[in-house]
Amino acid sequence: MQHANIDQAAVEVFLKSWQLYQQIIENNYMFHREISDAVRDSLISFRPNKKLSILDLGCGDGSMTLRLLPPERIGSYIACDLSQPALEIAHRQIDALAISAKLICDDMLNVASEQPDQSLDLVFSSYAIHHLSANNKQLLIEQISRALTPDGRFVLIDIFREPSEDRAAYMRHYMGRIRESWTNLTVESQALVVNHATEYDYPEPPEFFHVQCIKAGLGNAQALAKHTWHEAWIYAKESSQSLQTRYTHFKNSNPCVS
């Protein structure tokens, strides 16, 4: 990774947000511990004798994904984020692990689209895809499926709306939880989280991802963890015939799905 000149004001804004996020992780408000444990356990038996090629979408400082697998299992690690300061921190972690890595400051849809067909064993995204529009989520899932090898895995860790919630209801419920329960944050910090979520968060219910993944070639959705609105799912690249059978069954079981 080449280090670019970074605007100092941008660094200061990032560091403030990053320090706040570290507080959220330390207090386990978004259930990072439980979710990480569940994902780590699910990957123990996945291609255990193979070094894995990994794409990390919206990687931030890399701290979530890089702890899910031991370094010796990582053959190559491609990661992207829109924050160059975050990538600088990720770069230092990667140096310490001595793994082959490429860090890219770009939009995750662009980076996913640039990956060769069937070149990846694993694609991760942790608390990032909910920032995309529904259409861009669909486009991203299509690119993830295209880039995964047969029986490759897509691990999705994110915030999800409950099936009974629209976005407005989700905002009322989740923002209320932040104000009531995230008590180790200052009032100012709580307001920063609420303002960020109000402007940038567009979570979907799990069924949205199930439908889009099946359509794109990713099936066998497996729930790994659910803690309030924070969930982890894993999807496998499947054959067309298997997916058609799965989609037909899913559609028949969910009449509202078109």
Q: How confident is the model at residue 18 (pLDDT cuts 50, 70, 90)?
A: confident
pLDDT at 17: 87
Domain that holds residue 217: 8-253
How many folded domains does the chain comprise?
1
Mean pLDDT, the chain, as a whole number? 91
155 near 232, Cβ under 8 Å?
A: yes
206 near 234, Cβ under 8 Å?
A: no
Q: Can you tell me the mean pLDDT for 42-62?
A: 96
Domain membership of residue 1 (yes or no) is no
Q: Which two tokens stand for residue 89?
A: 């921190």
Q: Which two tokens stand for residue 204?
A: 């979907």
Domain membership of residue 21 (yes or no) is yes
Residue 58 has pLDDT above 80, yes or no: yes
Q: How confident is the model at residue 82 (pLDDT cuts 50, 70, 90)?
A: very high
Instruction: Please give the model's pTM, rounded to 2 decimal places.
Output: 0.88
User: CATH code at 27?
Assistant: 3.40.50.150
Distance CA 65, CA 17 (A): 19
236 near 216, Cβ under 8 Å?
A: no
Domain membership of residue 2 (yes or no) is no
Domain membership of residue 258 (yes or no) is no
Q: What residue has token string 């989609």?
A: 247
pLDDT digits over 159-204, tens only? 999 999 999 999 999 999 999 999 999 999 999 999 999 999 999 9
Q: Can you tell me the mean pLDDT for 126-141?
A: 97
Residue 7 has pLDDT above 80, yes or no: no
Domain membership of residue 24 (yes or no) is yes
Q: Which two tokens stand for residue 180?
A: 């009531």
Domain membership of residue 209 (yes or no) is yes
28 near 58, Cβ under 8 Å?
A: no
Q: How confident is the model at residue 2 (pLDDT cuts 50, 70, 90)?
A: very low
67 near 35, Cβ under 8 Å?
A: no
Domain membership of residue 123 (yes or no) is yes
Q: What residue has token string 């078109």?
A: 258
What DSSP line would sit under 170-214, residue for residue?
A: HHHHHHHHHHHH-TTS-HHHHHHHHHHHHHH-----HHHHHHHHH
